[in-house]
Amino acid sequence: MKSLHEIKESFSIAYGAVKANKVRGMLTTLGIIIGIVAVVTTMTAANGLGNRFKESISVIGSDVLYVSRTPWVFSGNFFQFRNRNQLTLKDGEKLERQLQEAKAVNPRTYSNQNLKYRSTVLENVTIIGTTENHVLVSAGAPQYGRFIIDNDVQYKKQVCVIGWEIKDRLFKDVDPINKKIKIGRNHFLVVGVMEKLGSAGFFGGPNFDRQVMVPISTLMKCFGGRNRNFDIVVKAPSTEALYDFEYSVIGEMRKIRKLAPTDENDFSINKMDTLMAAYNNVMGVVILIGLVITSISLFVGGIGVMNIMFVSVTERTREIGIRKAIGAKRRSILIQFLFESSSICLIGGLIGLIMSIGVTQIINAFLLPASISPGIVIIAIIISVMVGVVSGIIPAYRASKLNPIEALRYE
């Protein structure tokens, strides 16, 4: 109860002190504003980058495993994977037969070819040989036309489904359905156009809109089937079951590959999480460095507040003496000045937050899908109050220790 009155009093003193020195208060606050804007913008930009990355790899699907010869992300020497045998189409067929719980199994193989429609050429486009199960395991459906069907695969039909960017580049305003394009030296009939899927190209990842899907059998017929490496894409019964599912996949694959219990896996399991973890690993460090650098500006702002608090204590030495004479304890004086410094910083923090919202809008419009989350707002407020407390503590302590007799005599 008693402290409550003191806090109320401290608040009105802090308010009065800031009001009495408007220009000084504003200049001091400016340091905090700049610091908070810098820190908050860094955090939102980091969030935005994370969102963008997540968005771009969401095509992969969070409940999907890619069984491949090599891992997507690895540390160390690539040569440790070089001696692994190729994953064959047979491996995929066996896995499909033995892995009862899988929702879908989709073997894929890749080739890079040039595309040509009339006189327009697109170089080095990823051609994916796949099956009708493709749409079951990966996100995205045809926007126009249809996807590859069982029949296409069975009869090695020369049909293709093109990505959004391919459609834009090759056909512009022409309807691509039932048009013939050249993939390498072979003619393919366009039967479908995939919806816009997005690109992870920003992070050096695949561009899902710059792909062409053809029946897997046709790809092997046209671009060679010997020594071809396959990915086997399997969909777990649910995202929650992914962990257990991964174990069954590894177990079945070891059987298929006839590995002895002491042998290491000669294949790799890849999933969206692996990419996310790799991203977090790299970006975590970058963001941390960014935060450290921007925190320096906040630190400088804090020094400004500390400086002004020393001035404030000196200016009000006599007032401190009066308050002590009429019964203010050390704690009351301490609280009073801590309140003042925290208020300055809190005001700065709030203004900084509002300005950060503006900066975020700009980032959002031109760079990244950034947004200020409630978490960032809370963190920014806590940080600014903390800066206030930390920068106010030494001046406040000094004020609380003043001898009332000397303070009363101070002119």
Q: Which residues bind other proteins (CB under 8 A)?
A: 1-2, 5-6, 9, 16-17, 20, 318-319, 321-332, 404-405, 408
Which CB, 210 or 324, lies closer to other proteins? 324
d(CA 166, CA 125): 9
Which CB, 24 or 257, lies closer to other proteins? 24
Which CB, 165 or 319, lies closer to other proteins? 319
Extract long-range pairs of 2-8: CB within 8 Å, 24+ residues apart: 3/335, 6/331, 6/332, 6/335, 6/336, 7/335, 7/339
**Could you tell me which residues come within 8 angstroms of residue 180 by beta carbon, excluding any fewer than 6 positions away?**
117, 187, 188, 189, 190
Query: Minimum distance between the CB of residue 333 and other proteins, rounded to whole angstroms?
Result: 10
Which CB, 101 or 406, lies closer to other proteins? 406
- Tell me how many degrees the CA angle 134-170-55 measures, rounded to the nearest 5: 45
Which CB, 185 or 318, lies closer to other proteins? 318
d(CA 267, CA 1): 69
Find the helix or strand (DSSP H, E) in which 143 lies. strand 142-145
Query: Minimum distance between the CB of residue 404 and other proteins, rounded to whole angstroms?
Result: 5
**Burial readout 337-375 (b: 16 or more C-beta within 10 A, e: otherwise):** bbbbbbbbbbbbbbbbbebbeebbeebeeeebebebeee
d(CA 30, CA 43): 20
Check the CA dihedral 248-250-253-257 and report its sign: negative
Which CB, 1 or 23, lies closer to other proteins? 1
Find the helix or strand (DSSP H, E) in which 111 lies. strand 104-117
Which CB, 65 or 328, lies closer to other proteins? 328
Go through the chain and tell me how many residues it has.
411
Query: Minimum distance between the CB of residue 390 and other proteins, rounded to whole angstroms?
Result: 24
Query: Minimum distance between the CB of residue 405 and other proteins, rounded to whole angstroms?
Result: 5
Query: Minimum distance between the CB of residue 9 and other proteins, rounded to whole angstroms?
Result: 5
Query: Minimum distance between the CB of residue 340 and other proteins, rounded to whole angstroms?
Result: 13
Query: Minimum distance between the CB of residue 308 and other proteins, rounded to whole angstroms?
Result: 17
Half-sphere exposure of 249 (CA within 13 A, CB side): 28
